[in-house]
Amino acid sequence: MADPFVVAVANRKGGTGKSTTSVNLAALWAQEGRRTLLVDLDSQGHGGLGLGVRPGRGQAGSQQCLTGEVATLDAALVATAQPGLDVLPADTRMPREPAVDAGRLAALLQGQGERWDRVIVDTPPSAGALLDNALAAAHGVVVPLQPHALAAEGVRQLVQLFFRTASTVNPGLQHLAIVPVMRDPRVRLHRRVIDDLARQFGGFRILRGIRADIRLAEAFEAGAAIIHYAPRSRGAMDYQLLSEELEALW
């Protein structure tokens, strides 16, 4: 049985646009006809909220799937209003990370290519079992960052973890893309940080990025992807271009 193509969206620093990127890529892929699952591993639950998913009281989440408290993904799965797009939401009642084997998510997704073509995993910013699970299951990693010095350090830490995972537990982890968000090429600091990352990790891994657009925040608050909330906005255009870049590179 075929496996879906799995993309983790990760950065060791919070507030870098991971959930916004996860939500909007997932919605784009589903709109393009690729059956897509968004797995939210961050107990803040933003990945699900960004698609209007609010699990019922007492409903199992992604953490219970990883710990084995529920036997299958279906026990926590939620279909969105968009055809072809499902969400495995996080349980926001679990502020602490569960202790789980690093290969649990990969095992749960194995053979699921009959149901989904793509899986995108929204990860927590902290190092731990949940981030390890995402990287152990992934074929590629998208690293969003706001281009300033502290965010760049988070990228460096994540890239080290990427290469360590690829060389040990997951040889299928082959793709890495760094995506500047809220990017403004007129700001000298933005240009300097992006140029430094390109020299360190290779210019081909630094993608065009996402410009600042208040419509992205409005869409997230409304529980909708930007392509549905404001399809003619800069944010919608930039995420469409990001999707096309990833297709061409990967």
For residue 155, what is the domain's CATH number?
Answer: 3.40.50.300
What does the mean pLDDT of the chain come to? Answer: 91
Whether residue 61 is predicted with pLDDT greater than 70 in this model: the reply is yes
Whether residue 151 is predicted with pLDDT greater than 80 in this model: the reply is no
Can you tell me the mean pLDDT for 217-236?
96
Of 166, 145, 139, the residue nearest 12 (C-alpha) = 145
Q: How many CB atoms lie within 10 A of CB 243?
A: 18
The Cα 34–Cα 8 span in angstroms is: 17
Can you tell me the mean pLDDT for 133-162?
89
Can you tell me the mean pLDDT for 200-225?
93
Whether residue 128 is predicted with pLDDT greater than 70 in this model: the reply is yes
Can you tell me the mean pLDDT for 137-161?
88
Whether residue 47 is predicted with pLDDT greater than 70 in this model: the reply is yes
pLDDT of amino acid 138 = 98
The Cα 104–Cα 42 span in angstroms is: 16
pLDDT band at 111 (very low <50, low <70, confident <90, very high): very high
Whether residue 1 is predicted with pLDDT greater than 70 in this model: the reply is no
Whether residue 92 is predicted with pLDDT greater than 80 in this model: the reply is yes
Whether residue 88 is predicted with pLDDT greater than 70 in this model: the reply is yes
Q: Are 145 and 154 in contact (CB under 8 A)?
A: yes
Percent of the chain clearing pLDDT 90 (strictly above): 68
The Cα 237–Cα 231 span in angstroms is: 8
Can you tell me the mean pLDDT for 174-198?
86
DSSP letter for each residue of 91-144: -TT--SPP---TTHHHHHHTTGGGT-SEEEEE--SS-SHHHHHHHHH-SEEEEE
DSSP 73: G
pLDDT of amino acid 244 = 96
pLDDT of amino acid 93 = 82
pLDDT of amino acid 237 = 97
Whether residue 43 is predicted with pLDDT greater than 90 in this model: the reply is no
Task: Give the full edge-to-edge strand order of the sheet including 118-122.
Answer: 78-79, 85-88, 36-40, 118-122, 5-9, 140-145, 175-183, 210-211
Of 30, 161, 160, the residue nearest 84 (C-alpha) = 30
Whether residue 58 is predicted with pLDDT greater than 80 in this model: the reply is no
Percent of the chain clearing pLDDT 70 (strictly above): 99
Whether residue 155 is predicted with pLDDT greater than 90 in this model: the reply is no
- Bridge-partner residues for 5, per DSSP? 118
Number of domains, the chain: 1
pLDDT band at 95 (very low <50, low <70, confident <90, very high): low
Structure tokens at 10: 């990760």
SS3 of 157, please?
helix
Structure tokens at 109: 């997704």
Q: What is the domain range of residue 211? A: 5-249
Whether residue 186 is predicted with pLDDT greater than 80 in this model: the reply is no
The Cα 42–Cα 68 span in angstroms is: 18
pLDDT, greater one: 136 or 182? 136
The Cα 223–Cα 216 span in angstroms is: 11
Can you tell me the mean pLDDT for 48-76?
88
How would you class 75 by CB atoms within 10 Å of its CB: exposed for 0-12, middle for 13-18, buried for 19 or more?
A: middle
139 vs 5, 120, 158, CA distance in Å?
6, 10, 15
